[in-house]
Amino acid sequence: MAIKIEMLRCFCTVAQTGNLVEAADRLGRTQSAISMTLKQLEDHLGKKLFEGERKNQLSALGEQVFELALKQIRQFDQAVQNIDAAAQAQQGLIRIVSVPSVGALIFPPLLEYMTSQFPGVKIELRDSDTQQVLDAIAQDQADIGIASGYHPLNGVRALPLFQDPFGLVAASDHDLITSAKPLSIADIPTAPFVRNRLCDLIQSPAFLSATENAAITIHNTHSLITLVRSGNWITVLPQTVAEFLPEAVAFRPIVDLDDKRQVYLYVRERSRFQNLTEQCSTFILSCDFAKK
């Protein structure tokens, strides 16, 4: 008997909830049907997926299967959504995923252009971190991606979009923001520093030395800004992000930090609506923010 996607969905739901009753309720099936499906999966594998009779602890194999199965379920569900969206898109579908700081700049003018030039077109926009952008492009979950850094992908064109310098981000009344003297890398260790994923793009030895003892890393930009806004913490971000900072937070250039974030446009060489993909990417490349 072949393993089916619904068998994996059943197993993952039980693993997430820790009991058959809750899993059955989520899936809209009976408890006995869930139990039978799990037994069929375990019989096929020849090993148990849970420790003992209770379903609140995975076996060693169960942990591996859960990780693999959950990934496949998400990909399957995304594929179904894409198929449904494509079927409903009489004039075509374009899927775009971008890092948040750039997406906030690009999405408004892009939407205006695409909807005016292609009435009836379906547009799907998402913002994610760079790795998720690359994954979406590589797995054909997006036609166009915008991400930090150059990352070669098979079947995908990587086009330089723009670059922006890094600078200090801190509360507007922080001493490093209000100080009259020029800000340098040497000033960074004077305040508690919180790293973020974009810091990995900075190769300056002086910066790496100044931040090597940072004990906190926050990947979510909103959470990062919230912490910085509290007053004591500082971080370093690209200048583009500064355009969307709340009034209580400020951006300041660092005079001896020459590193810049390189932003690239990733375009799939083959997509279902290739003309839309090309028109969309051409527009993005022509915008003023792409020439910084």
The H or E element spanning position 237 is strand 234-238
Dihedral angle computed from the Cα positions of residues 181, 184, 186 and 187, in that order, rounded to the nearest 10 degrees: 50
For residue 192, the domain's CATH number is 3.40.190.10
Are residues 172 and 243 both part of a single domain? yes
The span from the first CA to the last CA of the chain, in angstroms, equals: 58
* SS3 label, residue 151: coil
Phi first, then psi: give them for residue 127, nearest 5 degrees. -115, 135
Q: Which residue has the tokens 């809750």?
A: 22
Rounded mean pLDDT, 220-249? 89
Instruction: Please indicate whether residue 53 or residue 151 has the higher confidence score (pLDDT).
Output: 151
Regarding whether 146 and 100 lie in a shared domain, the answer is: yes
Give the pLDDT mean for 97-118: 90
Position 290 confidence tier, pLDDT thresholds 50, 70, 90: very low
User: 244 and 109, same structural domain?
Assistant: no
Are residue 247 and residue 266 in the same domain, yes or no? no
Percent of the chain predicted with pLDDT > 90 = 61
Cα–Cα distances (Å) from 114 to 95, 106, 128, 160, 279, in that order, read 12, 12, 21, 22, 9
Distance CA 238, CA 70 (A): 34
Q: What is the pLDDT of residues 39-86, one digit of tens each?
A: 999 999 999 999 887 888 899 999 999 999 998 898 888 778 777 766
* Tally of domains in the chain: 3
Strands 122-127 vs 144-148: parallel, antiparallel or unpaired: unpaired
Q: How confident is the model at residue 190 (pLDDT cuts 50, 70, 90)?
A: very high
Burial class (CB in 10 A: 0-12, 13-18, 19+), 53: exposed
- Find the mean pLDDT for residues 133-144: 91
Looking at residue 90, its pLDDT comes to 59
Band of residue 189 on the pLDDT scale cut at 50, 70, 90: very high
Please give the Cα distance from 13 to 20 (Å, whole number): 9
Residues 101 and 169 both lie in one domain: no
Q: What radius of gyration, in Å, describes the C-alpha atoms of the chain?
A: 24
Could you list the residue range(s) of the whole structural domain that residue 81 is in?
5-85
Same domain for 267 and 156, yes or no, is yes
The residue out of 37, 59, 85 marking a domain boundary is 85
Verify that 201 and 74 share a domain, yes or no: no
State whether 251 and 272 are in the same domain.
Answer: no
pTM of model > 0.85 = no
Return all residues near 278 (Cβ < 8 A) that are at least 6 apart. 267
Q: In 3-state terms, the chain is what percent helix, strand and coil (to 5)?
A: 50, 20, 30
CATH number for the domain spanning 65: value is 1.10.10.10
Do 130 and 255 lie in one domain? The reply is no
78 and 95 assigned to the same domain: no
If asked whether residues 75 and 21 sit together in one domain, one would say yes
Is the predicted pLDDT of residue 291 greater than 50, yes or no? no
Structure confidence at residue 227 as a pLDDT band (50, 70, 90)? very high
Same domain? 143 vs 272: yes
Residue 114's H or E segment, with its range, is helix 100-117
